[in-house]
Structure 1
């Protein structure tokens, strides 16, 4: 069906490449490519989920359906979608101010954020608004990406050193606190595990880049952690802690577990009373207002109680203990790090509280952190929690993540399309990325995007169609169903090493230097975006917004004063800038070339330049506007030209135009300026305008005019342009 074919391929892009899978060679190649990408994706996804502040297995959830959906509905055949470093960092930056990392509320917000990002991207694609990404100029992206790489890498230092610090208001303060803590309390087994992971990945990458170095590092360190008892977990009773402050905080946490259901029950009763009162007496009745006040008071009390308990628990988990084993099998004692009794012999480990059980027992961790238990099975279908107040809080972050994530994805897709000679449709890619995030949010995924490193792996493995991404998703499903127990002992230090190795490639100082060399102002934008992103972290959107604003302001500044050249005849016969080449100009005819679009910001500048020329040439009779460089004109520019032509006409000076582009002539015709000035004011070439001027000036002026001096000479290579 010749008519339905293109329409169907646009609605379902995958129908274009599915017939190619009948070729057994392509099918085998795509299967191997998908398997290869999955071997990189599985450990990377868990690492990036950790970077996003989520339990590591949520990375597997984000690697489950998004790669498949993006491959089916996107336009790129080799783009590998899933969790990526920058989007994960931006997710954490958006959620940490409103929820505790890793908690149920935080996870719910992350899933909701994925839905908002997906809806925004899908809407942009449907409305064919992919061009909005162009507002993120290259210097802004370069500056942001370099800063983000540094932030990502340094955010993993606590996991590399095995220390725990509270997040400060600014990222650089957190980094400094981590370094100070590591100097005193570094957990050497964790650090050694991280060094081992780094060593394996670096060595294997140099030996053979095709080796799955990430997977091998994960496998080796996981086996090592299992064999050495790296985690060191044991149960403790509350009476094993002599410190009364610890007992009070734990007791308070247990009381809170009983109080929250009580608060919720009282709130339900208060809401029922309010509904009954409103039904009987209406909203304006004093009793309804009193009932609403009671609800607000209960909610405030509940929120304060939860926040206070959460702060106490966070502080408790940061406390370090020494464990002194009991004599003859008796229970041991956990002493605060600085309160170990003289003469007591501890087991040599530094212990911390991991969880508080329902019965008040404590799970203690005296070794390194591992991934731990991963729920077996694929995530269940569930609608994200849609709270309007939360959506409004996340909206600005979602828009930023949408644009940055898509820019990363489309840049990768276009780079690969250049090699494969396939067409990439930015709007269709927006639809694919948007659907992948929407569908992912229904299965507990956080925001995803196209990955540069995994797309490169996919391309190098010979992927021909999007079927490779389908295979990748199927391998993740197999992992979730049957292989999760193997990941229990995976050290979090290894995941931190994976993240740091992945973001090294994002640091590109040469790109900033190149932007500076191409245009100083672009270099300034890149440097300012870089510096402010680092300074504002974890509020990454502020650095981007300032960068975008600065780029637009500097662009306006550049176009406010474009080059305006007074042309004269060069000895080689061409018309060139008289000031640059030191050429003599005519007293009666002035040829002015405007190198830029004529719009509201620069109309006064152009008008001033013409008036200056009129002032210094009292015998001026003709102003020839050379409009080859005027690509667009707005209402302000058209109005200025109309008034300027009238004023010059009254002063005995005729203004004519040459070389105007069609879109400019069309604007003049729509406004009536072309008809009012007359067709004899518009010429295709400068020579035609000069001939007309000489005829109207009469006499022997043509022979005396400097614009008519022509002494052809041979141009040398590299001669300066006008």
Structure 2
């Protein structure tokens, strides 16, 4: 490899023949998985199966050249395929030329969004999406994917619905029309996939099913019995072309494009960080955005659709010994060979087999264990999971993500407006102060109340602190000194500083109580000092520790 290629692939001088062989083996391993999955996921996206193979060529090469991850295996994935179908099927019928044209524009838009996010270093945005939302959304989407494939699996006609109740209604009302042979192939494929994976793990189960079902359909002439097959798959490389872009198309795809861009990036980042941590290298989130963006933009010009890193294929790529993105180049090269020489062999591939591959692959994404854990540990996170899950099931996958994220933001805002404020007492010989609600035996001081606030202070929660202080004082009739420990305050706004100043002045004037502040962190103290450049009311009431505040005013006798 020349120096430029080595630099692009993050390969240094230590890269040797042994590493190259490991990458080749890993790349070939992914090919075996990717060929059937790519065709199946393209079908899920409402596109011709060959477009899944197209999406596994140039986009993989582009990603490999610019990625910071050494192990991510990019290509068609189930969730992205479902999102594409959800967004595009609202404007065109699946597999039509209009549908394909819109999907190409979507790929370009997704790529541009990701590229711009990377250029402007917006990778941090995904940190604001709750893990509960992502898990619930993925679980519900996987559930919808499974139900949507029952049409292909059983040989029945289903409408293009992506809501649970509509899908269930269609399945029930169409069940009498099921094709027995198709259903037998579909159910047999599911059972075989599970058994092969369990008892013969060295055999690539998806490829095994593809080969066997093609042979069965061809040998017994099941095409004439109404079994839907893939049919003629175009051979050769995709034609290069510019997507037909119109203002109306761009406008109607904006919500879907943002959703695909974010979900694709989050899925890629999650598995990428996990592997990078295990291999002790740094994953650059913004560089990943750029790489995915360029890959998706290239999809639009090679008759493909949006791609992102596959959790399962990336994990297998890592386990197979990949050490660099050379493995992805190997994968792309063999997919290109498949397109050039082997597409004719897929003619008799039954769609029921592809549906079975999808259903088995996504079954692992339905995760109720996380709900159980969230409900046990933090009930509000569990509620957030349930809201996202059921909204996704019954209102649709786009509403599910956005409303789930909105609900999680509402929870964060609600928590920030209700800071934890507790009364402290002295406990044990070590001289530390503890929450008296948790340690009732903690000692208090005569004429003195000590409180601690565990949250940044801002205009939306400062009144809670003021009310809590007044309540603590009213509960004790002898209060002359009030100490507020600010060790848990990381930030403060101008409005809160004004209220604290008013509290100092009003408690002294109206009730004869002196108010002190302790353990104020440097950044908070800096803001306070800038705000009090003239009078210094709060600054004069500050002490470094609770003990210093008590000693300075002769408070030492314990009750």
TM-score (norm 1): 0.74
On the 8 A contact 1:111/1:444 being kept in 2, the answer is: yes
Q: How many residues align?
A: 554
CA contact (8 A) 2:210 2:349 kept: yes
The Cα of 1:90 is off from its aligned counterpart by 0.8
Counterpart check, 1:14 vs 2:17: no
**Does the CA contact (< 8 Å) of 2:49 and 2:230 recur in 1?**
yes
Match of residue 668, structure 1, among 516, 528, 532: 528
Mapped contact 2:491–2:524 kept (Cα < 8 A): yes
Distance 2:199 2:185 in 1: 21
Following superposition, the deviation at residue 28 of structure 1 comes to 0.6
Deviation of residue 97 (structure 1)?
A: 1.1
Aligned to 1:402: 261
**Structure 1 502/199 Cα, relative in aligned 2: closer, same or farther at 3 Å?**
same
1:662-682 residue CA offsets vs partner (Å, 9 max, x unmatched): 221121123236961375432
Q: Does 1:208 align with 2:200?
A: yes
Superposed CA deviations along residues 238-265 of structure 1, whole A, max 9, x for unmatched, are xxxxxxxxxxxxxxxxxxxxxxxxxxxx
Give the structure 1 partner of residue 211 of structure 2.
219
What CA distance in whole angstroms lies between the structure 2 residues aligned with 1:107 and 1:505? 29
- Alignment equivalent of 1:575, drawn from 433, 437, 460: 433
Whether the 8 Å contact between 2:9 and 2:326 is mirrored in structure 1 is no
- Please give the residue correspondences for 1:89-100 in structure 2 after superposition, counting only pairs within 5 Å: 89-100=82-93
Structure 2 unaligned regions, length at least 5? none
Pair 1:684 & 2:514 matched: no
Aligned to 2:165: 172
The separation in 2 between residues aligned to 1:109 and 1:396, in whole angstroms, is 14
After TM superposition, the structure 1 = structure 2 runs for residues 100-499 of structure 1, keeping only pairs within 5 Å, are: 100-168=93-161, 170-182=163-175, 184-232=176-224, 366-499=225-358
SS at 1:399 equivalent: helix
Q: State the 1:647 CA deviation.
A: 2.0
The C-alpha deviation readout for 1:55-84, integer Å capped at 9, x for no partner, is 111111111122222222121111001100
Check the 8 A contact 1:669/1:675 in 2, yes or no: no
Aligned to 1:330: none
Task: Name 1:261's counterpart in structure 2.
Answer: none
Structure with higher Rg: it is 1
Structure 1 gaps of 5+ residues are 233-365, 695-700, 707-722
Deviation, structure 1 residue 171: 4.2
Distance apart, 1:619 and its partner CA: 4.0
The secondary structure found in structure 2 opposite 1:470 is helix
Contact 1:14 1:72 in 2 (8 A): yes
Q: Deviations over 1:684-709 (max 9, x none)?
A: 22211211121xxxxxx53x344xxx
User: Are the equivalent residues in 2 in contact too, given 1:45–1:83 (CA < 8 A)?
Assistant: yes
Contact 1:151 1:171 in 2 (8 A): yes
Contact 2:427–2:443, Cα closer than 8 Å, also in 1: no
SS in 2 for 1:469: helix
Counterpart of 1:231 in 2: which secondary structure? helix
Structure 2 residue 64 is matched with structure 1 residue 71: yes
The 8 Å contact of residues 487 and 521 in structure 2, kept in 1 or not, is answered as yes
> What SS is found at the alignment partner of 1:666?
helix
1:657 to 506, 517, 536: 517
| Larger deviation, residues 623-632 vs 497-506 | 623-632
Aligned pair partner of 2:406 in 507, 532, 549: 549
TM-score by length of 2: 0.95
SS at match of 2:553: helix
Of 166-175 and 115-124, deviating more is 166-175
- Check if 1:624 corresponds to 2:468: no
User: What is the Cα deviation at residue 85 of structure 1?
Assistant: 0.3
2:214, 2:393 → 1: CA distance? 34
Shift, 1:504, TM fit: 0.8
C-alpha deviation, 1:450, in angstroms: 0.7
* Cα-to-partner distance string for 1:539-589 (whole Å, 9 max, x where unaligned): x11111111111111222222222211112224432222343334533422
In the alignment, structure 1 residue 586 sits paired with structure 2 residue 450: no
